[in-house]
Structure 1
Amino acid sequence: MFEINIDLIKKYDKPGPRYTSYPTAPHFTEAFTSEKYLDEIIRTNNQADQPELSLYYHLPFCDTLCYFCGCNMIITRNRDRIKEYIKYLKNEIDLLRTYITTGRKVAQLHWGGGTPTHLNPDEITDLISFINQSFEIKTDAEQGCEIDPRGLTKEHLAALRNGGFNRISMGVQDFNSDVQKAVNRVQPEDMTRQVVSWVRELGFQSINLDLMYGLPFQTIESFEKTVDATINISPDRIAVFNYAHVPWMKKHMNLINPDDLPSAEDKLQILKMTIEKLTSAGYDFIGMDHFAKPTDELSIAQREKKLYRNFQGYSTHAGTDLYGMGITSISQVGKCYVQNKKREKEYFDSLNDQTLPIERGVYLTDDDILRRHVITKVMCDFELDFSDVEKSFKIEFENYFGSSLESMKDFIDDGLVKLSNRKLEVTQMGRLLIRNIAMNFDGYIERKEDKARYSRTV
């Protein structure tokens, strides 16, 4: 049984990064230009030991607006607008491909959104064909797509499966009809079950379902029914996200009445119930929002200490160069992170000029690379061997991270972290507060230069 101390959650619940990158996205700057990005692309493609590729394609279009959504999306039913976007996405693929060495293989590929399955089956097939002609996809590559059951047909899924996709991720949020109506996402349970049945029938290897707590009209009792139904469906992975009500950042969240949201205390009790039920049902708590069956690749990678974090969350493919394509997408190539233009017109204009459509980015310093390694190990392995870090980076750990270790005192006293034999170990309860623990190694927060807004850590 996963034991949860609500008082400790309250003590440490504060805004903090999710560390899908380090430095985090608020530290990207417009001073990092497409020319600098191109230099890094060329450098990594000329090095002797070239990493494999991970490709991300952002397909931002949705049919309807979900009031809780924090993603970069565009609501449209204009098929011509979608076709134009795909045309420019192909242009970006062509432009990038000219700089990437022939023979570099793709180990991971993901379509995110928005709703990628807002494309029709023919458009899906066409885009897959174009990508497969442009890159060499490994036969065992992990290929995943986010889908929305509403408006989805079996033909959409068949187009993905026939094109090599083997993983599906689907939003559920909550099966309660009152909650669904309040957030403008009516998705009956039988609809979700039908799509899951199709996914399994077509031979996809893995299914992930997303849940969300903190939505209007949710109670512990009502969300427990959603958790029970999800366990019964038996997906390979489950993500349980905390709804962050930030209408000053996402204007459409004003459509949610804050008086209808569960209290902070109720949210914590919902989270406690959810974790206890999922772990009792046999799911491993991977960390933060994620759960997986012990036989799933995420669980296996974590046990083998091969888990990694990037902009797609937890990943089993460490060491790849991640190329993001489409508006707002983020790339991690060599020693830099970059983000694409956020608006269609600016994205199109850059590609018309045969220029990589970069809006901002950051080049990592040696300190950034070291701290990224440490934060990644803490968040993925839940332990950190100081000697291993010293061997890899030629430092004296206690000297370099003296202030970080000093700030860990409360975590040790509260039983969240253990320090012994020059090794840090995160306890079971500490896993729930892993973002807080990782923040101790964040040089930007440590120097009090980080003024960015982040979601709360729990």
Structure 2
Amino acid sequence: MTHANTLHANTLHASTPHADTLFRPDLLDKYSANGPRYTSYPTAVQFTESFDPAHYRRAAAQGSGDLSLYFHIPFCDTVCFYCGCNKVATKNRAHARPYLDRLKRELALQAELFDTTRPVSQLHWGGGTPTFLSHDEMAELMEATREHFNLLPDDKAEYSIEIDPREASPRTIRLLRELGFNRLSLGVQDFDPRVQHAINRIQPREMTETMLAAARDAGFKSVSVDLIYGLPHQSVESFSRTLDAIVELAPDRLSVFGYAHMPSLFKMQRQIDEAALPSPAARLAILERVIRTLTAAGYVYIGMDHFALPNDELALAQKAGTLHRNFQGYSTRADCDLIGFGVSSIGKVGDVYAQNARDLPAYAEAIDSGRLAIARGVRLSADDRLRRDIIAQVMCRSELHFDALEAAHGIDFASTFADELARLAPMERDGLVAIDADAIRVLPAGRMLVRNVAMLFDRYLGQSTLERFSRTI
């Protein structure tokens, strides 16, 4: 461990549970189930095509406060077999031009609905591979965004982008910083060559090192790395080597996702040899090594699959109780209205969720006709708003105070949620949560199972919907 990481670890002991209390294999095995990640409530499963976009327009006109913008760039030069994202695999870069032109038209359409003096304090480009766009096209998209919306200076906002190290160069990184991006997320997944071959993602460690060094040289304030456990041919020993390499590189944040093998939903996953996937026991052992390695190296466990160094904004937000969750995962920003741009992107404006068409032809037809590309969505009921509040507090603060909810929603918690409290009783007996007359608190042993706690307050869950979600562990 480096001297810097030793200092991080020493700082951490007072505020972060020990790995032995976070990782309880008996409980993780007992409670492992399919369930939502709760980047929204209701989840996208509840979005309907009968949704009236007029609800979105009214919510946009009535909103106030900061805005968050999300741009989905779906193109990938090559396909990673594990991927479940909305993507278009092509080596033809000419596809970017018509898509960019439509994004610019969509910017104009959306800007007509909002008070564009509202500050944009958060922006994210995801995909796909956003850097599929050329340097000039990326600059063009950011310029168009600034023309239509009030982007705050980058020292007062969070502007992030997902990067595939195979599809970028140090020059790309410098350009992104010049355009205002200040957070970078790098996909890695695993450094082991055998695993990389099995998932069709050949990415030597040197590529990642080069991008990390370029990001630091360019002045990015936070760099995140994505890893995946549960991939074919992984073992505790092989993934430990990847973890050791990542600790040495010391990114500011880490997301370590559990691979969700769902070939019936994601056709490309059929290219993965199921016989090569780690067994449930091996997968749990890998997760244990993740927890022990990263907490020993000084990373704060944020929740679910997120880790951050103690001085990163994500860890500071968790400590201050201001952590938030949106469609990109855990966030440091307040609950902004989110505008989604591009194919399949989701917006959240007031009490409305709205998703664009999920295939390129339908998205193109809407934009070319001068219409919003919204294809489905949901307008929240009073019960939805209440349960969204509960689930957000459980996921982000690991505690739920009844008096604040009762004041905000005009309810008596104990009577309104008598059934949910009864179903929490086994979790309380197992030491996952503590319940008293005033609050529910997620204990250290329950933090990795926080999705399971949140699921008890989800009134939409049923066996048919559960099958559409990944495992909680």
TM-score range relative to shorter protein: over 0.9
Q: Is the 8 A contact 1:124 1:156 kept in 2?
A: no
Tell me, yes or no, if structure 1 residue 60 matches structure 2 residue 79.
no
Distance 1:389 1:187 in 2: 48
Distance 1:436 1:231 in 2: 29
Q: Give distance in 1, aligned partners of 2:56 and 2:438.
A: 38
Counting only pairs closer than 5 Å after superposition, residues 14-413 of structure 1 correspond to structure 2 as: 14-44=33-63, 50-139=64-153, 140-413=156-429
From the superposition, tell whether residues 332 and 452 of structure 1 become closer, same or farther in structure 2 (CA, over 3 Å): farther
CA contact (8 A) 2:70 2:124 kept: yes
Verify: 1:7 aligned to 2:26, yes or no: yes
Q: CA RMSD in A?
A: 1.2
Q: 1:444 to 1:180 in 2, by over 3 A?
A: same
Cα contact 1:2–1:428 (8 A) shared by 2: no
Structure 1: how far apart are the matches of 2:136 and 2:181? 15
Q: 1:35 to 1:388 in 2, by over 3 A?
A: closer
Question: Which amino acid in 2 is paired with 1:175?
Answer: F
Output the CA distance in 2 between the equivalents of 1:72 and 1:329.
9
- Following TM superposition, by how much is the alpha carbon of 1:33 offset from its aligned partner in structure 2, in angstroms? 2.8
TM-score by length of 1: 0.97
Q: CA deviation at 1:35?
A: 2.8
Task: Say which SS state the counterpart of residue 424 (structure 1) adopts.
Answer: strand
**Structure 1 residues 184-226: Cα deviation after superposition (integer angstroms, max 9, x where no partner):** 1010011110110000000000000000001111000010111
Q: Deviations for 1:312-351, whole angstroms, at most 9, x for unmatched residues?
A: 1111112210001000000000111011001111111111
| 2:462 pairs with 1:457 | no
Conserved in 1, the CA contact under 8 Å of 2:96 and 2:132?
Answer: no
| 2:184/2:220 contact within 8 Å kept | yes
Give a deviation string over 1:337-377, Cα, whole Å, max 9, x none.
Answer: 01100111111111122111011000000110011001100
Distance in 2, matches of 1:294 and 1:312, equals 21
Instruction: After TM superposition, give the deviation of residue 94 of structure 1 in Å.
Output: 0.8
Structure 1 CA distance for aligned equivalents of residues 221 and 466 of structure 2: 42
Distance in 2 between residues matched to 1:425 and 1:230, nearest whole Å? 32
Hey, what's the Cα distance between the residues in 2 that align with 1:416 and 1:365?
A: 30
Q: Is the 8 A contact 1:323 1:333 kept in 2?
A: yes
SS across alignment from 2:167: coil
Secondary structure of the residue aligned to 1:444 is: coil
Q: Displacement of 1:11 after TM fit?
A: 0.7
Q: CA deviation at 1:448?
A: 7.3
| Residue aligned with 2:330, SS | strand
SS in 2 for 1:456: coil
Say which is worse superposed, 212-221 or 350-359, in terms of deviation.
Answer: 350-359
| Whole-angstrom CA distance in 1 between matches of 2:399 and 2:54 | 38
Instruction: State the alpha-carbon separation in 2 of the partners of residues 151 and 102 from structure 1.
Output: 33
Q: Deviations over 1:275-327 (max 9, x none)?
A: 11111111111110100111111111111111111111111112210001000
2:458 paired residue number: 442
Q: 1:408 is paired with a residue of what secondary structure?
A: helix
Alignment check: 8 A CA contact 1:407 1:440 kept? yes
Please list the CA deviations of residues 124-157 of structure 1 after superposition, one character each: whole Å capped at 9, or x if unmatched: 1111111112211111110000001103112211
Q: Secondary structure at the match of 1:443?
A: coil
Counterpart-to-counterpart distance in 2, 1:336 and 1:75: 31
- Aligned partner letter, 2:219: G
Deviates more, 1:385-394 or 1:143-152: 385-394
Native 8 Å contact 1:33 1:358 kept in 2: no
Contact 2:35 2:466 (8 Å CA) reproduced: no
Amino acid at match of 1:267: R
One-letter code of the match for 1:423? A
Report percent identity of matched pairs.
45
Indicate conservation of the 8 Å contact 2:163/2:186, yes or no. yes
Within 2, Cα distance between the matches of 1:295 and 1:26?
A: 36
Q: CA deviation at 1:40?
A: 2.2
Contact 1:34 1:357 in 2 (8 A): no
Is the contact between residue 63 and residue 75 of structure 1 (CA under 8 Å) also seen in structure 2?
yes
Greater shift after overlay, 77-86 or 433-442? 77-86
2:226–2:255 CA contact under 8 A, matched in 1: yes
Q: Say which SS state the counterpart of residue 271 (structure 1) adopts.
A: helix
Q: Separation in 2 of the partners of 1:265 and 1:448?
A: 25
Distance 2:272 2:163 in 1: 24
Shift of 1:420: 2.5
**Counterpart residue identity of residue 131, structure 2:** T
Over 3 Å counting, the alpha-carbon distance change for 1:118 and 1:410 in structure 2 is same
Instruction: Show structure 1 runs of 5+ residues with no match.
Output: 45-49
Pair 448,151 (structure 1): closer, same or farther in 2 beyond 3 Å? closer
Could you tell me how far apart the structure 1 residues matched to 2:379 and 2:128 are?
28
Distance 2:394 2:305 in 1: 16
Which whole-Å deviations, capped at 9, do the CAs of 1:106-139 have from their partners, x for residues lacking one? 0100000000011121111111111112211111
29-38 or 93-102, larger mean C-alpha shift: 29-38
CA contact (8 A) 2:255 2:306 kept: yes
Q: Deviations along 1:30-52, whole A, 9 cap, x unmatched?
A: 010323322322232xxxxx121
Counterpart residue identity of residue 472, structure 2: T
What is the distance in 1 between the residues matched to 2:199 and 2:351? 40
Paired residues, number: 452
